[in-house]
């Protein structure tokens, strides 16, 4: 490491996690400009979702950790998310590729896309029942057989139809995840785009790049989403470190 590099490193060295979330690792905006409003942030992030890429067949999906790239008070973020879910406005999904990856979708958008996908299908009646009985107060990520049979009064045959329609996916024997129909391609594109954008950071000098510069970079065919969507992803997932500089936020790859 040359002298200039050492000076830069020492000047901008930060602690990833400080006590009390005083400076949360990954956060770009600490929300000091006004009260934290998770619903408004969700709506902003959803404008980055590539609806046309999926022929508008998917609800707009935001990753829970993307919110952490904007707000550093994770406790407040989680509390407001919990309130929105309890009020029936928001649904949360385990995306499957990572135990810590959760998708957030507004319930009205989810219902509209599911019903559109069920048009003319034999599973429509059972899916209607699921949307009416389960969604209004859905705080669960998964459901066991006992709950499906005794609380929601679904039959084994109906559960099979729900899996076939994609609103449930098998978790293990006797339990199912709440899921987003036809979201497999979303997950595939997310993972390959994340890898490509991280690669762009790693190929930059010293494995770091200004956030504003990265936002303006041309992307290759591996990146299907807007690059800003992926930047919020890699910051919130703590795959890069955010370092404030006089030139703006610097993103540096994290070595584990």
pLDDT tens, position by position, 116-158: 999 999 999 999 999 998 888 778 899 999 999 999 999 999 9
Assess contact for 138 and 85: CB atoms under 8 A: yes
In this model, does residue 22 exceed pLDDT 90?
A: no
In this model, does residue 3 exceed pLDDT 80?
A: no
The whole-model pTM stands at 0.84
Mean pLDDT value across the chain: 86
* 3-state class (DSSP) for residue 187: helix
Closest residue by Cα to residue 243 from 15, 4, 64, 6 = 15
Question: Residue 31's pLDDT is what?
Answer: 41
Task: Tell me which DSSP letter residue 34 carries.
Answer: S
Residue 108 Cα distances to 9, 58, 79, 131, angstroms: 47, 12, 21, 10
Task: Tell me which DSSP letter residue 147 carries.
Answer: I
Separation CA 237–CA 195 (nearest Å): 13
Which token pair is 7?
């000076």
Separation CA 85–CA 88 (nearest Å): 5
């Amino acid at each position: 490491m040359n002298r200039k590099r050492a000076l830069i490193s020492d000047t901008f060295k930060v602690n990833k996690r400080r006590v009390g979330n005083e400076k949360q690792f990954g956060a770009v905006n600490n929300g000091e400009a006004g009260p934290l409003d998770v619903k408004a942030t969700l709506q902003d992030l959803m404008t980055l979702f590539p609806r046309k890429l999926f022929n508008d067949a998917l609800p707009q999906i935001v990753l829970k950790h993307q919110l952490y790239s904007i707000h550093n008070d994770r406790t407040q973020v989680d509390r407001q998310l919990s309130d929105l879910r309890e009020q029936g406005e928001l649904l949360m999904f385990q995306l499957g590729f990572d135990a810590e990856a959760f998708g957030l979708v507004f319930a009205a958008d989810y219902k509209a896309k599911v019903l559109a996908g069920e048009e003319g299908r034999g599973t429509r009646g059972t899916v209607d029942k699921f949307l009416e009985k389960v969604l209004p107060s859905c705080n669960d990520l998964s459901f066991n057989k006992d709950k499906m049979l005794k609380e929601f009064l679904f039959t084994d045959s109906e559960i099979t139809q729900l899996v076939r329609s994609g609103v449930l996916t098998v978790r293990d024997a006797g339990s199912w995840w709440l899921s987003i129909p036809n979201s497999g391609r979303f997950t595939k594109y997310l993972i390959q785009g994340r890898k490509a954008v991280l690669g762009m950071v790693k190929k930059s000098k010293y494995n770091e790049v200004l956030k504003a510069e990265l936002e303006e970079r041309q992307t290759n065919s591996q990146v299907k989403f807007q690059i800003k969507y992926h930047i919020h992803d890699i910051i919130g997932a703590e795959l890069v470190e955010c370092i404030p500089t006089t030139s703006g936020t610097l993103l540096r790859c994290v070595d584990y």
